[in-house]
Each structure stands twice: as C-alpha cells, then as structure tokens.
A and B are shown apart, each in its own frame.
Chain A
Amino acid sequence: MTFALLVQSAIIGTSLGSIYILMALGLTLMFGMMHIINFAHGAVYMLGAFVIYYVFFQGGAPYFAAFVVAMIVLGIFGYLVERSIYRPIRGGIEPTLVALIALTTFLQAAGYPVFGQLDKHVPPVFPGTRNILGVGISIERLMIIPIAAALVVALYLFINRTRLGAAMRAIEQDKEAAALQGVNVNVVNGLAFAIGFALAAASGALMAPIFKLDPMMGEQPLLKAFIIIILGGLGSIPGAILGGLMLGLIDSIVATALGAEPAFLLSFVFIILLLLFRPTGLFGYAP
C-alpha cells in the first residue's frame, strides 16, 4: 500500500467514521437513558436519505434545507415512536426491542412499494475533488467531517449546558430520583428518541449523495453502529466517538487492502475477542 493510498483511505475512513459516530451517538444516548437498543436506527438512516432524494433532488430544495427537513421530520417521528411504542410497553426491555425490530422490518419492507424497486441515486451536492498531500479526495466525502463534527459539538453542548440536557443525564443516572426531582421522564425520553432519530436521519442525509439508495441501505450502518457501541461501551458517548473513528479507519484501510467483506469479518472477530477480555467495552461500565 503506497503512502498516497494510505492518506486517501485514512481521510475516507475519517469521513466514514463521522457517519458511524452520528449513528452510534443516538443509539448510545437512548441506551444510557432507557436501556433499549433502537433497532430502527438503520431504517431511520434510510428514511433520511430518501428525504434528501425527494426534497432535494426531486423537489429542487437547497441541500441544507432538505437536510434540516430530514432531521426535523424524523425527529418528530422518533418522538411519536416513543409515544406509541416505547411508552405503552412501559419499560419492558425485551418486548420493546422486539417491537422496534418489527418497526424496522415494516419500514424496510414498506420501502419497496413506496419508493419503488429500483435503486435511487442522488446527484453530487459538492462535486469535484480537492488535493490533500498530493492525493485527490472528493469534496463530497470531505464535507461530511465538519458537518458531523458540528452536530457532535451541538449535542455535547446540549447535554452538558442546558436544563433539558441535565434532565437527560439525571435520567441516565437514576430514573426514579429524576422523576422525584420534577423531571418529566416521559417528555425527556421522547426528546432522546427525537434526537437519536434526527442524528440517524442526518447520517443518512449525508450519505445520500455518495451511496445508492434502497430500502435495505440502513442494515450495514446499523450493524456498524452496533459494533461501535459494543466496542466503546454501551451508554458511553466518548466510547461511541472513539469507536466510530476506529471502525471507520478499519473499514476504509482494511477494505482498501483486502476488500469490504473481509473488513467486516475482521471487525467482528475483533469484537468477539474484545468481549472475551473486556465484556463492557472500552469505556463501558457494568449495567
């Protein structure tokens, strides 16, 4: 592997990692508060990409407007899912997981009659390439990094500097105590659903101009996000960020050297080995 190729796959890996981080952050946030894994995350990613297809490409709206629409619409959807699925089941973790799996398969399967059988493509939003250290990198992929970073910083500030963020942290520490202190647990959980869904929609919206769109497109990023949060430790935000970057780099560098499928197999083997020695992940703590 030449130096140029290494630089290129490192940058592409970072941009891929940024997408994974956005996916994993929502998952880990929701897990920390409610101890559930949102299996529908991949389907929401897919819906985010399709919002870009219809609003930006078909509707002719500016890309960033479509991006915001995707986040808002799917954020509201997330709130509704909390209201209609999570809340009625009332904390039963297993039934909630199964219900979320059902929601996922429903959204994916319904995607075929609604969006059509053929793969969709979104034209590039930032065409052209840029020369970095003598290597041409597509601006499309490069742009993902600052946008994702801005979202991560915004989430960080929200969680650490606002009252609602404090409420979220309180629920994460102790749901009953938070409720006793006057935190409206239902509303704040709904907010966590909304944020998680909006972040997944954002990653789908960022990837829409790069990959082809089909109803199953969320499966791979979902699996990656699973691996990341296991790697980083469930509920850990720094873990999700570090894990996301690591997996993005593994994916890009190993995939360039050996192919995409071996890269996936390798990350899985890595996870199994990690679990043998550290069952709670890199930053995790025993639940």
Chain B
Amino acid sequence: MRRRAGALGVLSVLIVLALLVPRFGGDYYVHIFALVFTNVILAASLRPSLTCGQLNIGHSAFMSIGAYASALLAKNLAVPFELSLLGGAVLATLVGVVIGYPSLRLRGVYFAMVTVAFVEVIRLIAQLWVSLTRGMSGLSGIPKPNLLGMTLTTKAGQYYLGLALMLIVLLILWKLEHSRLGLIWKSIGMADNLAQSLGVDIARHKLLAFMLGCFFAGIAGAFYAHFIRFLFPPEFGFLMATNILVYNYVGGRGHFAGAIVGAIFLSLLSEPFRGSPYETIFFSIAMLLTILFLPGGLITLPEKLAGLRRWRAAAAPTPSPAA
C-alpha cells in the first residue's frame, strides 16, 4: 500500500513536471521531450509481446507503417489527424496480423529472425514505392496535427498532444497488463506448454499481444510523422528497432515502469550524441553493461543498492539475498 502511494506520488510529480516543460524550457526541450514521449510509447507497446516471450526485433516497421499511412492520409486526402492517427494504427495492426499470424507459430529465436527480416521488407517497400512515399527523397510537407478542426501550430501544443497520447497509451497498456489478460501473457512467457495444458489458447493470445504492440507503435509513428513532418525510410531500420528493445532491457523487464524508465533515461542521456555513431556506441555499451551486471534493469538498481547497504551494515560474510 505504501509503495503504491509512493508510486502515485512520483507519477503525479512527473506529470506536473512534464506539463511545465513548455512554460520554462525553450523549444529545444519541447522538441526533445516530445520525441521522448514517442520512444516511451514504442517501448511500452513492445511489452505485451515481450511478456509472452516473443522477442520482437522488428517493432520499428510498424511505427513506419503508422507514420507513412497517417502522413499520406493527411497530406493527400486531407483526413483530420484524429482519423489519420487511427488509420495509421489500424493499418499497422493489419499488416502485423498478416505477418504475425504465420510467424507467431514460431518460438523464440525463429520469431526474432523473421522480425528482423521484416524491418528490411518494410524499409524496402517505403524506399521502392516512390510514387507513394517519395522513396529516398523523403516525404515532406506533412500537415501539422489538428484536433477537432483546430490545427496545433505551436510546438508546445504538439508537445501536449504527445504527452496526452503517451499517458492514454500507458494507461491502457498498464490496465491490460494488470488484468486477467496480462496474467495469461505472463503465463505464456514463463511456460507456454504449461499454459496451454491449462487451457490457454496461446496462439490467439500471442497474436493479440503482438497486434496491440503494432497498434500502439502505429500511434507513435503517426504522432512522429505529424510532429517531425518529414519521413525518411532508413530512419525506421534495424537500429531503431533495436533501440526499442534496448529501452526495455536497460529499464528492466520485470516491471511496467521498466520500459518507461529505459526510454526516458536512454533518450535523454544519448541526446548529446544524436545522429553520430557515438549514439549507437553509447547505447550498445549501456545495453551490454546492463545485461551483464544488472540483469533486472535500472528499476532494480534501488533494490540492489539497498541490499548492498544492508549487507555492508550487517557485515555478513554471505552475499546479499537481494542479488
């Protein structure tokens, strides 16, 4: 109970801080944080699949579909943002079903390999379908997002839109994870044959988890498209897909907050190197160190430190039980 109150307190402080960014930070911070929100959505939307034990290394593909679909709907057909956002997410989900249905029959490693190839396929399609996506020239002139017919012209307005989207998505995913469905996902991830023997339709639940991930990745992509207003196929490549995975692992897989912590921490910390190879070098070192020395991710750090302190205080010869 106390933990829960503490978590709520931290959450409200964070939300208040996030609301204050456009007031006190300049456009630079508004821009950075809006991108952080996109990353948080992406990282959190990978969780259902990861919980089911499906190592999806192709999440950026669905972001790309959402981004292109929403941008093209708004640009070519003047569809309002609310609908184009939904359209992008739905298309990402549909493509996810077409690809996911056959590949979800595969376990672990096979699945991971197919998703890697899938990133390449979507990138190539975006690159080759020049008449629609403008290929390697990049898609520009994407309209700014609008809500209820009002265009959000300022960066701050778009920032609040991103914040709202992120909070809604996180709330939905959090609710799902703590429902019966989340329990089923967890059981599949821990021992899928046991879950099956208890009557869980694992194929259907894996597909559902995968589709949810595609849907929210599509949402993140659509927001990204109308916020940055320029799309370039290679951006949604293997590197972005692995980054989404890295957020989850560095943050910690054991708790819902892990994906969020990982996405915020790494996006902000790598900001000074953005666009240079050092960003990736930094990411991969952070990833390797976490996997090797902090397998539970950053969210287990306080616990580990507390365990260490207790161990020191007791000066016991045995290592801490928290480890």
Q: What is the interface of chain A, defined by CB distance below 8 A to chain B?
A: 31, 35-37, 85, 88-89, 92-95, 97-99, 101-106, 108-113, 219, 223, 226-227, 229-230, 234, 261, 264-265, 268, 271-273, 275-276, 279, 287
Q: How far is the CA of A268 from the CA of B287 in the complex (A)?
A: 29
Known A-B contacts A105-B280, A108-B280; A98 and B110 likewise in contact (beta carbons under 8 Å):
no
Q: How far is the CB of B189 from chain A (nearest CB, A)?
A: 10
The stretch that binds A, out of B25-33, B167-175, B238-246, B310-318, is B238-246
- CB distance B57 to A101 under 8 Å? yes
Contact with A along B99-126 (1 / 0, CB 8 A): 1001101111110111011101100110
Q: How far is the CB of B207 from chain A (nearest CB, A)?
A: 14
23 A–B pairs (Cβ distance < 8 Å), ordered by A: A31-B109, A35-B109, A37-B113, A88-B292, A89-B292, A89-B295, A98-B55, A98-B245, A98-B249, A99-B291, A105-B242, A106-B285, A109-B278, A109-B279, A109-B280, A223-B116, A223-B117, A226-B116, A230-B110, A230-B114, A273-B102, A279-B106, A279-B110
Q: Does B196 interact with chain A (Cβ within 8 Å)?
A: no
Measured between beta carbons, the chain A residues less than 8 angstroms from B108 are 93-94
Q: How far is the CA of A272 from the CA of B98 in the complex (A)?
A: 10
Q: How far is the CB of B270 from chain A (nearest CB, A)?
A: 12
- CB distance A109 to B109 under 8 Å? no
Q: How far is the CA of A31 from the CA of B108 in the complex (A)?
A: 12
Q: How far is the CA of A229 from the CA of B114 in the complex (A)?
A: 11
Given contacts A98-B291, A99-B291, 6 further A-B contacts (CB under 8 A): A37-B113, A104-B284, A111-B277, A268-B120, A276-B102, A287-B107
Q: Which of A37, A98, A275 contacts B102 (CB 8 A)?
A: A275
Q: How far is the CB of B273 from chain A (nearest CB, A)?
A: 10
Q: Which of A35, A111, A219, A275 contacts B103 (CB 8 A)?
A: A275
Q: Which of A93, A95, A275 contacts B114 (CB 8 A)?
A: A275
Q: Which residue of B has the minimal Cβ distance to A114?
A: B277
Q: Does B281 interact with chain A (Cβ within 8 Å)?
A: yes
Q: Does B128 interact with chain A (Cβ within 8 Å)?
A: yes
- CB distance A37 to B112 under 8 Å? yes
Measured between beta carbons, the chain B residues less than 8 angstroms from A223 are 116-117, 120
Contact with A along B40-65 (1 / 0, CB 8 A): 00000000000001010100000000
B side interface size, CB within 8 A: 43
Q: Which of A105, A109, A265, A279 contacts B121 (CB 8 A)?
A: A265
Q: How far is the CA of A36 from the CA of B288 in the complex (A)?
A: 17
Known A-B contacts A113-B277, A219-B238, A227-B117; A97 and B106 likewise in contact (beta carbons under 8 Å):
no
Q: How far is the CA of A287 from the CA of B109 in the complex (A)?
A: 11
> Which of A88, A94, A230, A271 neighbours the largest number of chain B CB atoms within 10 Å of its CB?
A94
- CB distance A102 to B110 under 8 Å? no
- CB distance B287 to A102 under 8 Å? yes
Measured between beta carbons, the chain B residues less than 8 angstroms from A36 are 109
Measured between beta carbons, the chain B residues less than 8 angstroms from A105 are 239, 242, 280, 283-284
- CB distance B103 to A272 under 8 Å? yes
Measured between beta carbons, the chain B residues less than 8 angstroms from A37 are 109, 112-113
- CB distance B291 to A95 under 8 Å? yes
Measured between beta carbons, the chain A residues less than 8 angstroms from B239 are 105
Q: How far is the CA of A283 from the CA of B238 in the complex (A)?
A: 29
- CB distance A264 to B280 under 8 Å? no
- CB distance B281 to A109 under 8 Å? yes
Q: How far is the CA of A275 from the CA of B102 in the complex (A)?
A: 6
Q: Which residue of B has the minimal Cβ distance to A110?
A: B281
Q: Which residue of A has the minimal Cβ distance to B121?
A: A268
Q: Which residue of A has the minimal Cβ distance to B57?
A: A101
Known A-B contacts A95-B291, A223-B117; A101 and B281 likewise in contact (beta carbons under 8 Å):
no
Q: How far is the CB of A118 from chain B (nearest CB, A)?
A: 14
Measured between beta carbons, the chain A residues less than 8 angstroms from B284 are 102-106, 109
Q: How far is the CA of A98 from the CA of B209 in the complex (A)?
A: 20
> Which of B113, B114, B279, B283 neighbours the largest number of chain A CB atoms within 10 Å of its CB?
B113
Measured between beta carbons, the chain B residues less than 8 angstroms from A99 are 287-288, 291-292
Q: How far is the CA of A104 from the CA of B116 in the complex (A)?
A: 13
Q: Which of B110, B116, B277, B295 contacts A109 (CB 8 A)?
A: B277
Q: How far is the CA of A261 from the CA of B110 in the complex (A)?
A: 23
- CB distance B110 to A265 under 8 Å? no
Q: How far is the CA of A271 from the CA of B278 in the complex (A)?
A: 35
Q: Which of B106, B109, B121, B124 contacts A275 (CB 8 A)?
A: B106
- CB distance A89 to B291 under 8 Å? yes
Q: How far is the CA of A275 from the CA of B58 in the complex (A)?
A: 18
Q: How far is the CA of A272 from the CA of B113 in the complex (A)?
A: 12
Q: How far is the CA of A99 from the CA of B105 in the complex (A)?
A: 25
- CB distance B128 to A261 under 8 Å? yes
Q: Which residue of B has the minimal Cβ distance to A272?
A: B102
Q: Which residue of A has the minimal Cβ distance to B276?
A: A112
Q: How far is the CB of A102 from chain B (nearest CB, A)?
A: 4
Measured between beta carbons, the chain A residues less than 8 angstroms from B55 are 94, 97-98
- CB distance B281 to A226 under 8 Å? no
Q: How far is the CA of A272 from the CA of B278 in the complex (A)?
A: 36
- CB distance B117 to A234 under 8 Å? no
Measured between beta carbons, the chain B residues less than 8 angstroms from A227 are 117
Q: How far is the CA of A53 from the CA of B107 in the complex (A)?
A: 39
Question: What 7 A-B pairs are tightest by C-beta distance, nearest first?
Answer: A109-B280, A106-B284, A102-B287, A112-B277, A109-B277, A102-B284, A226-B113
Q: How far is the CA of A123 from the CA of B107 in the complex (A)?
A: 44
Measured between beta carbons, the chain B residues less than 8 angstroms from A94 are 53, 55, 108
> Which of A102, A223, A261 neighbours the largest number of chain B CB atoms within 10 Å of its CB?
A102
Known A-B contacts A36-B109, A97-B109, A265-B121; A272 and B99 likewise in contact (beta carbons under 8 Å):
yes
